[in-house]
Amino acid sequence: MDTPNKIYLTEEEIPKQWYNIRADMKVKPAPLISPATHKPLTFEELTPVFCDELVRQELDDTTPYIDIPEEVLGFYKMYRPSPVMRAYRLEKELGTPAKIYYKFEGNNTSGSHKLNSAIAQAYYAKKQGLKGVTTETGAGQWGTALSMACAYVGLECKVFMVKCSYEQKIYRREVMRSYGANATSSPSTATKIGQKILAETPNTTGSLGCAISEAVEAAVTQEGYRYVLGSVLGQVLLHQSVIGLETKTALDKYGIKPDIIIGCTGGGSNFGGLIAPYVGEMLRGENFYRLIAVEPTSCPSFTRGKYKYDFCDTGMITPLAKMYTLGSHFIPSPNHAGGLRYHGMSSILSQLYADGVIEAVAVEQKPVFESATLFARAEGILPAPESAHAVHSAVLEALACKDSGEAKTIVFGLSGTGYFDMTAYETFNNGTMDDHVPTDEELAVGFAGIPDVPEDI
Ligand SMILES: *Cc1c(COP(=O)(O)O)cnc(C)c1O
């Protein structure tokens, strides 16, 4: 049966519960541990930094389904359900027998999937009676999403924005300010750790890890503030499961079973959310899918990183998370996919990767933008540079089907739009885009900063 260009769900079909992958994992992801004692962090130790309810979700490895609060569902209804699209014109352009679908998360003002978790986190912070939240933003998508969510629930929002983005992405910065958020270039003089990093490396372009250190410090030193994070954590993957649950409901309507599911990975939240119900079926032994995480060769956490306990930030003030990491001091070259420049990876996805449940590939920037423009011309949507990594991998899989003659069903996550990222497209269009693939020696510098944790593998 032919499927329509868009598979829309009704508001009633938005899931009422998030799905927690961890409940079905036989080998649970390693817990966050204290850098001092190497013991798993408790509720009491985590709540000075994070909101209470979010800590409960972070520590919950066993509850498979968690109710989405009514207020969050109400907010979701402003821009969800998001459509699943059939890429008919892209298929034709590629001459592939493969059937290509994508789940489009860019149809809200912030332009990405990050709003799905931002509203949940802002809601729990408000419910706890907090005054405000602090966070970091790399490319700016998380900061814009969080400022929208905070404006909606009535919460103050302080965003530390990685310096190179703060200077390059003035439109994102101004969207945040328009929603009432306070945006600070990181490293800044507003925090002790920022001052220290500036003294050591005055010309730094900043990094996500550094901005995280500043945001955590700003949260714990101000009354009524907590820190929130837009990716990596288990709670974020939980909230993002709305993407995969909607995708599955939509595809099931037409009896479509994906062979391959693809998503780009920075900290792993959009991919983790997209694959959630499918990975659940795999873990329960009900079905098999190829699940492919796509990362840039300039920041290859999965494909060249070490599976170790490491700090989540450059300042080494956060808990240790076990993950595929390039070392918290690794600063990738200024690549255009800002959201994929994080040194680590979700602990959930890391465990799934170590167990061989998911695959990972690294791709170079220029071919990624070739696929992005091909996709834009065929399908009309201009992908975010991050999402373009998933587009590219889907194109490669579709071309492999052309060679083998197999009509596989490929589903990928189009996590956002690129309208605020036009310098990336400008560089590509001018033919001046390059890419720095780190050498083994360069990676060794980052690895040297990974702490020694005895029970580590
Ligand atoms: C932030 C971002 C990403 C990367 O983050 P994940 O947590 O890995 O999803 C990918 N795509 C877009 C559009 C983003 O804004």
Pocket test for ligand 1, best of 115, 146, 302, 415 (most atoms within 8 A of CB): 415
SS (H, E, C) 75-137: HHHHHCCCCEEECHHHHHHHCCCCEEEEEECCCCCCCECCHHHHHHHHHHHHHCCCCEEEEEE
CA of 39 to the centre of ligand 1 (A): 30
- The Cβ-side half-sphere exposure at 132, using a 13 Å CA radius, reads 19
Judged by DSSP in three states, 230 sits in coil
CA of 273 to the centre of ligand 1 (A): 11
Share of the chain above pLDDT 90, in %: 88
The answer to whether 62 touches 234, Cβ cutoff 8 Å, is no
**Tokens 């991998």 sit on residue:** 393
- pLDDT band at 336; cut points 50, 70, 90: confident
In ligand 1, the atom with minimum distance to the C-alpha of 106 is 13
The answer to whether 35 touches 81, Cβ cutoff 8 Å, is no
Domain topology for 6-13+81-111+234-448: Rossmann fold (3.40.50)
pLDDT digits (tens, 9 = 90+) for 37-87: 999 999 999 999 999 999 999 999 999 999 999 999 999 999 999 999 999
The answer to whether 322 touches 307, Cβ cutoff 8 Å, is yes
In ligand 1, the atom with minimum distance to the C-alpha of 416 is 13
Domain topology for 17-38+47-67+113-227: Rossmann fold (3.40.50)
CA of 52 to the centre of ligand 1 (A): 25
Instruction: Tell me what the pLDDT averaged over the chain comes to.
Output: 95
Would you put residue 206 in left (φ > 0), alpha (ψ -120 to 50) or beta?
Answer: left
* Residues within a 6 A CB radius of ligand 1: 112, 114, 141, 231, 264-270, 339-340, 384, 386-387, 415-416
Ligand 1 atom 7: residue of nearest CA: 269
CA of 415 to the centre of ligand 1 (A): 7
In ligand 1, the atom with minimum distance to the C-alpha of 417 is 13
Residue 255 CA to residue 270 CA, distance in Å, equals 24
Ligand 1 atom 13: residue of nearest CA: 416
Furthest CA-CA distance within the chain? 63
Q: Which residues pair with 162 in a beta bridge?
A: 186
pLDDT digits (tens, 9 = 90+) for 372-392: 999 999 999 999 999 999 999
CA of 178 to the centre of ligand 1 (A): 22
CA of 270 to the centre of ligand 1 (A): 6
Residues 6+ apart with CB under 8 A from 285: none
pLDDT digits (tens, 9 = 90+) for 208-260: 878 989 999 999 999 999 999 999 999 999 999 999 999 999 999 999 999 99
The answer to whether 352 touches 24, Cβ cutoff 8 Å, is no
Each domain of the chain, given as residue ranges in start order, spans 6-13+81-111+234-448, 17-38+47-67+113-227
In ligand 1, the atom with minimum distance to the C-alpha of 265 is 8
In this chain, the answer to whether the domains covering 6-13+81-111+234-448 and 17-38+47-67+113-227 adopt an identical fold is yes
Mean per-residue pLDDT, 415-426: 93
Ligand 1 atom 14: residue of nearest CA: 339
pLDDT of amino acid 360 = 98
CA of 223 to the centre of ligand 1 (A): 30
CA of 207 to the centre of ligand 1 (A): 16
Ligand 1 atom 1: residue of nearest CA: 339
pLDDT of amino acid 342 = 87
Q: What is the Cα 407 distance to its own chain's centre?
A: 30
Closest-CA residue to 231 (of 223, 240, 219): 240
